Structure 1
Amino acid sequence: MPSHASQDRQSLHYIVRSGLAGGIAGCVAKTVVAPLDRVKILFQASNPDFQKYAGSWSGTFRAVAQIYGENGIRGLLQGHSATLLRIFPYAAIKFMAYDQLEGLLMPTRESQTNLRRFTAGALSGMTSVFFTYPLELIRAHIPSIPPASSSTPSAGTNQTSIFTRFPILKFYRGFIVTITGIIPYAGTSFLAWGFLRSRLLPPSTSGFKHPTPIADLCIGAVSGALAQTVSYPFEVVRRRMQVGGITRPDRWLRWDETVRAIWSTRGWRGFYVGLSIGYLKVVPMTAVSYAVWQWERRILGL
Structure 2
Amino acid sequence: MKGDQKSAQQKKSWNYVIRSGLAGGIAGCAILFQASNPEYQKYSGRWLGFLQAGHKIVQQQGVLGLFHGHSATLLRIFPYATVKYMAYDFFHMALMPKPKDETSLRLFLAGSMSGVLSVFLTYPLDLVRVRLAFDTKSKPQPGSLRNIVCKIYHEGIEMSTDGTPPRHLLLNRYPILKFYRGFFATVMGMVPYAGTSFLVFGRTKSLMYRLLLNQDTHGHPLSSDPPPVPVSRTTVDLSSGALAGAISQTASYPFEVVRRRLQVSGLLHPERLVRFSETAAWIYKTNGISGFYIGLGIGYLKVVPMTAISFAVWSGMKRYLDV
Q: TM-score scaled to structure 2, two decimals?
A: 0.80
**CA-to-aligned-CA distance 1:143-196 (integer Å, 9 cap, x gap):** 446998xxx994897797212221111111111111111000000000101111
**What is the aligned counterpart of 1:220 among 241, 254, 260?**
241
User: CA 1:16–1:73 in structure 2 vs 1: closer, same or farther (change >3 Å)?
Assistant: farther
**CA-to-aligned-CA distance 1:122-162 (integer Å, 9 cap, x gap):** 000011011011111122223446998xxx99489779721
Q: Percent of aligned pairs with the same residue?
A: 47
| In structure 2, C-alpha distance between the alignment counterparts of 1:250 and 1:65, rounded to whole Å | 34
Q: Is the 8 A contact 1:144 1:246 kept in 2?
A: no
- Choose between structure 1 and 2: higher helix proportion: 1
User: CA 1:153–1:5 in structure 2 vs 1: closer, same or farther (change >3 Å)?
Assistant: closer
Q: Does 1:281 pair with 2:282?
A: no
**CA-to-aligned-CA distance 1:57-96 (integer Å, 9 cap, x gap):** 4543454455456655423323212201111111110000
User: CA 1:277–1:174 in structure 2 vs 1: closer, same or farther (change >3 Å)?
Assistant: same
Q: How does 1:1-302 map to 2 (within 5 A)?
A: 3-30=5-32, 33-34=33-34, 37-39=35-37, 41-44=38-41, 46=42, 51=43, 54-64=44-54, 67-68=57-58, 73-144=63-134, 154=158, 161-202=169-210, 203=216, 204-206=222-224, 212-302=233-323
Structure 1: unaligned runs, 5 residues or longer = none
CA-atom RMSD, angstroms?
A: 2.8
Q: How many residues align?
A: 287
**Larger Rg belongs to:** 2
| In structure 2, C-alpha distance between the alignment counterparts of 1:86 and 1:298, rounded to whole Å | 25
Structure 2: unaligned runs, 5 residues or longer = 138-146, 211-215, 217-221
User: CA 1:43–1:155 in structure 2 vs 1: closer, same or farther (change >3 Å)?
Assistant: farther
User: 1:179 corresponds to which letter in structure 2?
Assistant: V
Query: RCO (CA 8 Å, sep 6+): is it higher in 1 or 2?
Result: 1
User: 1:139 corresponds to which letter in structure 2?
Assistant: R
User: 1:284 corresponds to which letter in structure 2?
Assistant: P
Q: TM-score scaled to structure 1, two decimals?
A: 0.86
